[in-house]
Structure 1
Amino acid sequence: MKTKIIYPIVFLLISSLSFSQGFKEKKEKVKALKVAYITEQLDLTTEEAQKFWPIYNAFDDKQSELRHEKIRAILDRFEPGNVEKLSEKDASTLLTQMESVEESLFALRKKFIKDLQGVISAKKIIKLKKAEEDFNRTLLRQIKERRKG
């Protein structure tokens, strides 16, 4: 039942993001919406929330750094659409670098789960993963609908 209430709220809040806002402002609003959504879905106690959010925020920041900066740095070295022009050696190097980033992300996620195990229950950790996926799916749907409209 909560999900049926939350989805329309997230939908309305995301759709209220105006095109005139800067990227940083939009990112801040999306982050605030994500925090509200996760908080609602996990139903954290005050004590859990005080311990959970610093761990989550550190994880989220590091994950963003790995995804956006390192992956972009790798991919930006090659112009989009020029994959056909890559030599096999350059493609192999790029693939190795991409695998390294993916391994770093996996190790980060494992550490994050381990850190959370002393803070929230295993069931809530699973709920967190589902809440993140649901939020991201809703966000992507909103972005697609905006581009169509």
Structure 2
Amino acid sequence: MAMVRRHVHGSVMGSLERSGEMRIGGTMKTLIVLVSLCAVCFAQGPNHHDPRVIIEKVKIYRLTQELDLTTEQAQMFFPKLHEFEKIEKDFHEQKLEMLDALKMLVIKEGKEDEIVTIVSEFEDAQQKKMEQQMSKLHDMWMVLTPVQRAKFLIFEDEFHREIRDMIKEIKEHRHQQP
């Protein structure tokens, strides 16, 4: 967990350094925000020690900074982003259920028409997810300027890569420990 916090802190600081905003005042402001985030996370009980909760809070903080969101924009943008991400999460859960069903059918050499039905349901769910996400994405775009939209797309790619790298680093660290 300490490694997660250390890496997240490094990511925020690296982000500020790259953007040229790393000044003495900026450093103090960043430290205050990070300490506040950590304090809130740990003060809220065991469920809030979940790395996903911490990562989500850091993501919100970093997005607010990277996109330079106004208070009004943030109030409108983050609920739409949450809905966008919920669509993905719900689809992921459906997908796992369908894949489990397909695995069972393949192992048991189930009827092809049952397999075709589940594959068709998967395709329908995938199509529905894409349509819903495009609708939410357009709603999000209505809140952001074109430059903020571009920054959001870049941020999403880089943030997900940082998270994957962090998970890989943690796994490697665990394997190195006796």
TM exceeding 0.5: yes
- Which of residues 145, 153, 162 is equivalent to 1:121? 145
* TM superposition shift of 1:50: 1.5
Cα-Cα RMSD: 3.3
- Answer 1 or 2: higher relative contact order, Cα 8 Å, separation at least 6: 1
Distance 1:47 1:140, change over 3 A: same
Rg (Cα) greater in structure:
2
Alignment size in residue pairs: 137
Task: Give the fraction of aligned pairs with identical amino acids, expressed as a percent.
Answer: 23
* TM superposition shift of 1:4: 7.5
2:14 alignment counterpart: 5
Q: Residue by residue, what CA displacement relative to the aligned partner does 1:91-135 show, whole Å, maximum 9, x if unpaired? A: 433332222222122112211122123211133223212211211
Q: Residue by residue, what CA displacement relative to the aligned partner does 1:47-71 show, whole Å, maximum 9, x if unpaired? A: 211211121122222321222x211
Moved over 4 A (4+): 21-24, 82-88
- Between the aligned partners of 1:120 and 1:6, the Cα distance in structure 2 is 20
Look up the equivalent residue of 1:145 and give its one-letter code.
E
Distance 1:36 1:86, change over 3 A: farther
In the alignment, is the contact (CA less than 8 A) between 2:98 and 2:118 conserved in 1?
A: yes
Could you tell me the TM-score, scaled by structure 2's length? 0.62
Gaps of 5+ in 2: 1-10, 18-29, 35-45, 174-178
In the alignment, is the contact (CA less than 8 A) between 1:48 and 1:119 conserved in 2?
A: yes
2:164 alignment counterpart: 140
In the alignment, is the contact (CA less than 8 A) between 2:102 and 2:115 conserved in 1?
A: no
- Between the aligned partners of 2:69 and 2:146, the Cα distance in structure 1 is 13
In the alignment, is the contact (CA less than 8 A) between 1:74 and 1:98 conserved in 2?
A: yes
Gaps of 5+ in 1: 14-20
- Partner of 1:77, secondary structure, is helix
- Between the aligned partners of 2:164 and 2:115, the Cα distance in structure 1 is 29
1:51 alignment counterpart: 76
Distance 1:112 1:122, change over 3 A: farther
- Between the aligned partners of 1:140 and 1:41, the Cα distance in structure 2 is 20
Structure with greater helix percent: 2
